[in-house]
């Protein structure tokens, strides 16, 4: 797929993985290519459904299929879940700037809630290109029922998985930001994070204080187009010049030190 291609593809599979969270899967058409961290705008090709597209990070690309991990939060994300297999969905993408994949001995991924989405593909790619590297996932949810089971990804893609819940119903009690101590300050670690704004803001401070320099966050904002035209997805810029950047063009993967949290 050329950058920014527009395709209407039939939905091949919907798989529920936890409360409200599911995979939307498609057959990869000829020439399909994207990198971890890229996103696609998914929308209905027919009028009448939710009007705007939704930006979704590529969740995984494996074999002849690719998919998106989605949490039903109302509107389009709930509507996608109701679609029968075979339903046409318009996909615009890949869009945005993906994760850089520096050569490091340790890759630390930090996910809050549906911020888990981009890390399957990132881990899969790093596993292939840096087979000796250790890949760690720290994954937090509010409660146990929201936790997505990682199945064979645990072990195959992630060497270590540490789980957290706000209420302590699964894994350690607390947030992922509380569970970094053993790795903070490791100069060999590259950091990747995705999750709610408050989590990312706290994590940015934590990593900054620890002197981590190799840090990439995948952010989320409301957007209507996904390719720089609607100007909706502004991220306040720490330097102030320019005042805002567009997440769809400069992101969604950003260095948190460039963001005015």
Partner 1 sequence: MVERLATTCGPLELANPVLAASGTFGYGDSFERFWPLSLLGGFVTKTLFVAPRDGNPAPRVAETSAGMLNSIGLANVGWEAFVRDKAPRVNALRGRSRMIVNVAGNAPEEFGEIAARVEADRDVVRCDAVEVNVSCPNVKEGGTNIGCHIGQFRDAVRRVRAATTLPIFVKLSPNVADVVPFALCAADEGAEGVSLVNTLYGMQIDTERRAPVLGTGSGGLSGPAILPVGVHWVFKVRAALPELPILGIGGITTWRDALQYLMAGAQAVQVGTASFVNPHACPDILAGLDRWCASRNVAIRDVVGAAHRVGEAVEEPVWTG
Stated as kind and residue range, the H or E segment containing 182 is none
C-beta closer to partner 1: residue 90 or 134: 90
C-beta closer to partner 1: residue 50 or 174: 50
Q: Does 31 engage in binding with partner 1 (CB under 8 A)? A: no
Q: Does 6 engage in binding with partner 1 (CB under 8 A)? A: yes
Q: Does 224 engage in binding with partner 1 (CB under 8 A)? A: yes
Residues 248, 14: Cα–Cα separation, whole Å: 26
Which residue in 153, 232, 250, 258 binds partner 1 (CB under 8 A)?
232
Q: Does 244 engage in binding with partner 1 (CB under 8 A)? A: yes
C-beta closer to partner 1: residue 46 or 208: 46
Q: Does 65 engage in binding with partner 1 (CB under 8 A)? A: no
Q: Does 93 engage in binding with partner 1 (CB under 8 A)? A: no
Taking the complex as a whole, how short is the minimal distance between the CB of residue 73 and partner 1, in angstroms? 12
Applying CB under 8 A, the residues found at the interface with partner 1 are 2-4, 6, 41, 43, 45, 47-48, 50-53, 75-76, 90, 92, 221-225, 227-232, 234, 242-244
């Amino acid at each position: 797929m050329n950058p920014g291609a527009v395709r209407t593809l039939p939905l091949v599979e919907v798989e529920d993985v936890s409360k409200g969270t599911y995979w939307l899967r498609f057959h990869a058409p000829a020439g399909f290519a994207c990198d971890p961290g890229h996103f696609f705008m998914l929308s209905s090709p027919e009028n009448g459904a939710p009007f705007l597209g939704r930006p979704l990070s590529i969740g995984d690309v494996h074999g002849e299929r690719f998919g998106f991990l989605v949490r039903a939060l109302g509107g389009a994300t709930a509507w996608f879940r109701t679609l029968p297999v075979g339903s046409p969905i318009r996909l615009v993408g890949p869009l945005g700037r993906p994760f850089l994949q520096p050569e490091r001995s340790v890759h630390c991924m930090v996910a809050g809630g549906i911020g888990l989405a981009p890390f399957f593909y990132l881990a899969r790619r790093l596993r292939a290109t840096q087979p000796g590297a250790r890949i760690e996932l720290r994954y937090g949810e509010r409660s146990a029922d929201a936790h997505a089971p990682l199945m064979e990804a645990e072990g195959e893609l992630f060497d270590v998985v540490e789980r957290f819940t706000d209420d302590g119903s699964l894994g350690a009690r607390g947030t992922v930001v509380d569970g970094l101590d053993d790795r903070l300050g490791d100069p060999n670690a590259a950091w990747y994070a995705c999750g709610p704004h408050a989590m990312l803001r706290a994590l940015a401070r934590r990593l900054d204080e620890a002197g981590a320099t190799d840090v990439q966050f995948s952010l989320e904002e409301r957007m209507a187009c996904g390719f720089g035209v609607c100007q909706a997805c502004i991220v306040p810029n720490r330097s102030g010049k320019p005042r805002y950047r567009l997440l769809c063009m400069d992101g969604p993967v950003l260095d948190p030190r460039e963001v005015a949290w």
